[in-house]
Structure 1
Amino acid sequence: MTLKIKTFSSVSYKKCILCIFILFLLIVWYITSFGVNDDELTIKYNKSEKRFYVNSSKCQMVYVEPFNAEFTKVYTPKNFTRCSNQSDLVTVHFDSILKQYVLHVDEQVLHKLSQSESNDFACFYQNITHGQSADRYDRLGNKTKFTHGYVVPLNVEGMLVECRSADEKRILQEDAFSFVQYQKPPPNLEIDRKASVIMYGIDTVSRTNLRRLMPMVFEFLKSPGWYEMMGYNKVADNSYPNIFPILTGYSPSSAENQICDTSQPGCLDEIPFIWKEMKKNGYLTAYAEDTVFSNTFNYVKPGFLSRPTDYYFRPLLDALEKQTNKLYCPGCKMAYCLGRRLANSYIFDYCRQFMQRFVADRPIWGMFWSNHISHDDFSMLSAMQHKIVGDLLNFEKDGSFEHTIMIFFSDHGSRFGPIMRTKESFLEGRQPIMFIYLPPWFREKYPQYVEALAQNQNRLSSNFDVYNTLKHIINIEGLVEDTKWSYDCPQCQSLFYPLPESRSCSEAAIPEAYCTCHNYEEVQEDHGTWRMAELVVDRINQYLQYNNLQNLCSSLTLRVINITEVHQNLAEFFATVLYDRRTEELQINVELINRINIYRADAECVDDSTQKLFCICLSKLRNNESTPTIQ
């Protein structure tokens, strides 16, 4: 049930500043007094038979028509913007005999940039060095001059490049490069073939938006060997608590209780991430993201003290964000370009180098995660589809798919913005993409696992199943008998085994607030719905008081406004509640209420990622009043 409610923020001990909020309540509504059951809630969709991703006795996950009328009203296609119109003056080539990278200078580009036929120029690079911190670069090395054919030393993992005119007074071009330096496989590496695993992830992509905005990518993902988990359902609100279970088998709260508090320095180094298991079993490991601030393990988290994987991109990214010119797309908070290249291009290059160097010779595991493409604006996906399909085609051209199990996935769908005002927004945010590719040799060797994965495409699955699948890949021959599966979902299993046909969200460790297995219907506003809204707002205020935030964050008060609207500190929420109309008893977990618009600027006075959802800092209350709107 979707409601549009208007609220305002008030402060009792200082001059009251009216702040109107829009509160969206999406309710999986069980009315105990009327005994409503699932059969009675079954409805028609657009006056035609419903279609489902999953249709079982315990889960009916509705298929959303991508280009419905509501979506077309809020969608404006975006055009791809290049970071630079200049051709590359310096390029990188890997010499397969030397096993080292070589820098090349293009004379034609040089002549064009220098506006001279002379080859007089000067190019320098600065080595990006690591410091004691695993998450930051230490410093830039001294400028080292190079010419065409320069062999990059093995200790250089990243560099900033600058080419100048012969008199060194005019900069011709600046650039930056990262290097996955080759290392020989250990002599005791097992001969038996193991599947490499590459996880290529994009923040904020639902399966519906992939179909809408990246049809070329979707078509590629229909190729032989690809399997879409159409019943995949997220288990938490935002990125960190959805990625964390995939990589650890724990929810963040369970990890805090069982291992350590991840908000404390050093804790993340103690967490049993899947890459540690991979490394123990002979895999070479890598991890990369394309934004520093919103990085999964650094946003309101302390990050890592020690380098977590064999190849770790964050220190290089830290240097890129601080040392190159940044370009932002309209309305975006994350850098779109770092110097001459897309922020995403750096991690794609890193991923491609990682596979090119090692995948044919030894098992590798890597996760390469892009935030900036779609986090701030869902419609940016339409501008990036050629880039992403190009990445996938390049992997194919390199032959990497011959060796690799690739997981192409997201953490969740859109969580804020205009798309959240559509009726299907509840489904949009909770159904991220999850595609799994199996290489030909794997399909031939393990037909029973292929059959199970194909069968599981239309069955309910969760993040914990993906973790179990990664564990299964490590022990694909079943040689280790004491394999430990996901901690927080004892009933979860590898996707290479048939999932139960009649599986519920609770059996997949999916909280009810995020479960998309229920049929739902829109209920018109009445006294009962407004009463629910009042109770939800009251619970939010109680939450703020319980966490001693009343001196930092403004309380919320629900008001019915019929004629005018004043939009100050606009806040929008989704809440899922269990409500008894007769007794007015309401059950809700406040921490599972979703904030569906951008709130970073309003919540700077608190550090906790959950508390930020509900806090509007007193210091951030807006004094300017907007023009009243007649309704």
Structure 2
Amino acid sequence: MWSPNSKQKKILLFVCMLCVLFYLNHKYNTPMTLDLRHADVHAQCVIPEIDPFDKELTKLDKHPKPPTCSESMSLVFIDMNGYIQFNTSSFALNKLSKSEVVCSYRPVERSGGDDDVILKPEVQFTEPEYIESDVVVASCLNKKAKLIYQSVLTNIDFRTVLRANKIKMASPNQFNVILFGIDSLSRTGALRKIPKTMKYIQNDLGGITFKGYTKVGGNTFPNVVPLLTGRRADKEDLGHAWGQEYYDEFPLIQYNYSSAGYVTNFAEDWPYFSTFNYLSNGFKVQPTDHYLRPMYLTMKKLAPVSTSLEQVSLYLEDKSIKVMPSSLCYQNRIKHVIFLENLKRFLKGYKSQLKFSFSWMSELSHDYPYYLEIADQDFTDFLRWMKIEGHLDNTILLFMSDHGSRIDDLRNTPAGRIEARMPLLSIVLPEHFKKEHKHLVQTMMENTNVLTTAFDVNAMLGDVLHKNFDQNRKTTKPRRGISLFEKIPKERTCANASIAEHFCPCFVSKSTNIDSPDVQKIVNFSLERINRMLDKHRTVCVVLALSQVRDAQLIVSSFKRYETKKTFTIREFFNTPVKDQNKYTILFETAPSGALFEVTAHIESDGEVYFVGDITRTNRYGTQSQCIADKYLRNYCFCKK
């Protein structure tokens, strides 16, 4: 039988063992991000094609439940026209009458910079009242003077701005610009996590999505600075503005739009890690007419403990530990919905005026990228609202990101390495722009399949500002980049696109033996597929045979592992990172049609052939396929005589 002293020793030994295991886990089982760099940034870029539902990615995916918010009552709200009002349904539900409740609001102002706010004297109200502030703290007391409601409310005080500034009215040849960004989201990640949104952008809004859009920096700051300035985030490009205490002297493009008569808006949803505030002081002077940061600072000011613990709560939620209310909520509302509502207010308040907005969401996607899917329907509804209400009639919308997911487990897969380097960029153009400037739209479409960066987007935003749309448009010469309205060379390399070896995503192609077993297997499999597609038309289409293989290219990743210091981890020992698959791009000719087909494919370890995209015909079929009506199959059919 154990003595009390022995029991204590046993407990102490158990605790010591736990500590040792924790230490070993931390030291040797910590995920290791592989540093893979491009071996030749001067090589012509082959834009990588990856499957959004690659098995190495989907097995790491999660599908979180929607957050559960507080059931607290909202006794007052600010309507879309800027009036604070009583929430009559909430009063009725809580069996309250206006006569027994005293409600007031306190306007909020910035205090000497980006890190603090002050609450002005409270104002009592009994009837709807226009709020001359973008943020207020509303509160209500009962008959016993007990606080029964308090909340931070956001608003767009458009009246004050219109009185103080000469904002120009919108016109058919001068376009609004709305930049809506989501942190850490690749193009293929968007197809996986917000499929409804991407489908709506593509099918209903006619959005143009750029397959070659590539980051130029590691995290948000060095990617957003080029977007908003056209310059690299370094002293060489930014000169005296670099290294200042505040970012007010950065040549941000919203200042140019403001000088041209646009009303401007700047909103980020994560004040602790905002682009210009993380480990920095942000702006001394408010950078735009409307600025959402004070709302989040006020939330923290009123509830410093709970807001400080939000990331801890989100970590617990990620581990399937239910937290009430969710850290993704503010009181009884989901925070990303409040964020979208703020942009709605801006668009509605200035529907007839020229406007520029930069909105950037981070909290939902930065640390736990799979949480983004809970906003898919809300994004879709917001875009649908923009279309129905006419806010896209004269607006160029950029739905985009800064980089893909940088989470270790995702990033260490072959597909994840590409995703980390290739963020989302979809651009929606007004319908009348598409009709009047078809040449620019065609050029932009062609540019979707070449290497592009934030420098190019900035150059395009300059063209929009200066109405540089004519057929014989002036070729802009920005410090870096080429406008997306100009033809970008297919031969563009990472080096001449200002993409460093750390971030270059390109594959390179090398000639390979056309008689190799892999090439022959892919060609034969491609011919079988073409002939199977034509089975229903066999009475009129001949069976195609191989005439010759014209060319075969081996598509390989030029990523080379780079390490200054090798760190051993147990995880790495048991889980060797998956290697890239070699892909082939093959051009072959068929008989008797003389048709040229190009196919990109790879062979799996089980011997199966997997295609990347379609088998594409590269020469015209003319009258060869006039015996069938199917537009797609006409590319393949050779009619019998």
- Identify whether the pair has TM-score above 0.5, normalized to the shorter chain: yes
Distance, in Å, in 2 between the alignment partners of 1:348 and 1:191 is 23
**Structure 1: segments with no counterpart, 5+ residues:** 1-15, 32-36, 39-56, 96-100, 522-531, 539-556, 566-571, 575-631
Distance, in Å, in 1 between the alignment partners of 2:385 and 2:401 is 20
Distance, in Å, in 1 between the alignment partners of 2:45 and 2:573 is 42
Q: 2:110 aligns to what?
A: 130
| Paired amino acid for 2:351 | V
**CA deviation vs aligned residue, 1:164-222 (integer Å, no higher than 9, x gap):** 33333351564523333234386694785410001011111111111111111111111
Equivalent residues, number = 488
**CA deviation vs aligned residue, 1:42-74 (integer Å, no higher than 9, x gap):** xxxxxxxxxxxxxxx922222221223222321
Q: 1:160 aligns to what?
A: 137
**CA deviation vs aligned residue, 1:101-147 (integer Å, no higher than 9, x gap):** 2222232321222x4578632222121123232x1443112332222
1:303 alignment partner, SS class: coil
The alpha carbon displacement at 1:415 in A equals 0.6
Structure-2-length-normalised TM-score? 0.69
Mean alpha-carbon deviation: is it higher for 440-449 or for 477-486?
A: 477-486
1:357 to 2:349 alignment: yes
Mean alpha-carbon deviation: is it higher for 201-210 or for 19-28?
A: 19-28
Q: 1:468 aligns to what?
A: 459
| Paired amino acid for 2:53 | F
Mean alpha-carbon deviation: is it higher for 434-443 or for 124-133?
A: 124-133
**CA deviation vs aligned residue, 1:575-598 (integer Å, no higher than 9, x gap):** xxxxxxxxxxxxxxxxxxxxxxxx
Q: 2:330 aligns to what?
A: 338
Q: 1:524 aligns to what?
A: none
Distance, in Å, in 1 between the alignment partners of 2:390 and 2:571 is 63
Mean alpha-carbon deviation: is it higher for 387-396 or for 403-412?
A: 387-396
Distance, in Å, in 2 between the alignment partners of 1:107 and 1:59 is 61
Mean alpha-carbon deviation: is it higher for 475-484 or for 391-400?
A: 475-484
1:509 to 2:489 alignment: no
| Paired amino acid for 1:271 | F
Q: Does structure 2 conserve the Cα–Cα contact (< 8 Å) formed by 1:250 and 1:486?
A: no
Q: Does structure 2 conserve the Cα–Cα contact (< 8 Å) formed by 1:197 and 1:405?
A: yes
1:71 to 2:50 alignment: no
Q: 1:604 aligns to what?
A: none
Matches within 5 A, 1:542-561: 558-559=567-568
1:435 alignment partner, SS class: strand
**CA deviation vs aligned residue, 1:228-267 (integer Å, no higher than 9, x gap):** 01110111110000111010011111456623324x313x
1:390 to 2:378 alignment: no
Identity %: 24
Q: Does structure 2 conserve the Cα–Cα contact (< 8 Å) formed by 1:165 and 1:172?
A: no
- Match for 1:518 among 492, 496, 507? 507
Q: 1:329 aligns to what?
A: 314
Q: 2:339 aligns to what?
A: 347
Aligned in 2, Cα 1:128/1:465: closer, same or farther, shift over 3 Å? Answer: same
Aligned in 2, Cα 1:507/1:573: closer, same or farther, shift over 3 Å? Answer: farther
- Of structures 1 and 2, the larger Rg is shown by 2
Q: 2:620 aligns to what?
A: none
Q: 2:271 aligns to what?
A: 292
Aligned in 2, Cα 1:207/1:305: closer, same or farther, shift over 3 Å? Answer: same
1:389 alignment partner, SS class: helix
| Paired amino acid for 1:196 | N
Q: 2:636 aligns to what?
A: none
1:269 alignment partner, SS class: coil
Structure-1-length-normalised TM-score? 0.70
Distance, in Å, in 2 between the alignment partners of 1:70 and 1:89 is 48
Aligned in 2, Cα 1:398/1:190: closer, same or farther, shift over 3 Å? Answer: closer
| Paired amino acid for 1:395 | M
| Paired amino acid for 1:345 | V
Q: Does structure 1 conserve the Cα–Cα contact (< 8 Å) formed by 2:78 and 2:84?
A: yes
Aligned in 2, Cα 1:265/1:560: closer, same or farther, shift over 3 Å? Answer: closer
Q: 1:260 aligns to what?
A: 241
1:229 to 2:218 alignment: no
| Paired amino acid for 2:130 | V
The alpha carbon displacement at 1:458 in A equals 1.6
Distance, in Å, in 2 between the alignment partners of 1:173 and 1:191 is 38
Mean alpha-carbon deviation: is it higher for 18-27 or for 65-74?
A: 18-27
Distance, in Å, in 2 between the alignment partners of 1:203 and 1:124 is 36
Q: 2:322 aligns to what?
A: none
1:244 to 2:225 alignment: yes
2:488 alignment partner, SS class: coil
Matches within 5 A, 1:299-318: 299-318=278-297
1:432 alignment partner, SS class: coil
Distance, in Å, in 1 between the alignment partners of 2:291 and 2:89 is 35
**Structure 2: segments with no counterpart, 5+ residues:** 1-23, 319-325, 511-559, 579-641
- Match for 2:441 among 450, 471, 479? 450
Distance, in Å, in 1 between the alignment partners of 2:38 and 2:166 is 61
Aligned in 2, Cα 1:271/1:560: closer, same or farther, shift over 3 Å? Answer: closer
Question: C-alpha root-mean-square deviation of aligned residues, in Å?
Answer: 3.6
Q: 1:177 aligns to what?
A: 154
2:328 alignment partner, SS class: strand
Distance, in Å, in 2 between the alignment partners of 1:191 and 1:70 is 48
Aligned in 2, Cα 1:86/1:502: closer, same or farther, shift over 3 Å? Answer: same
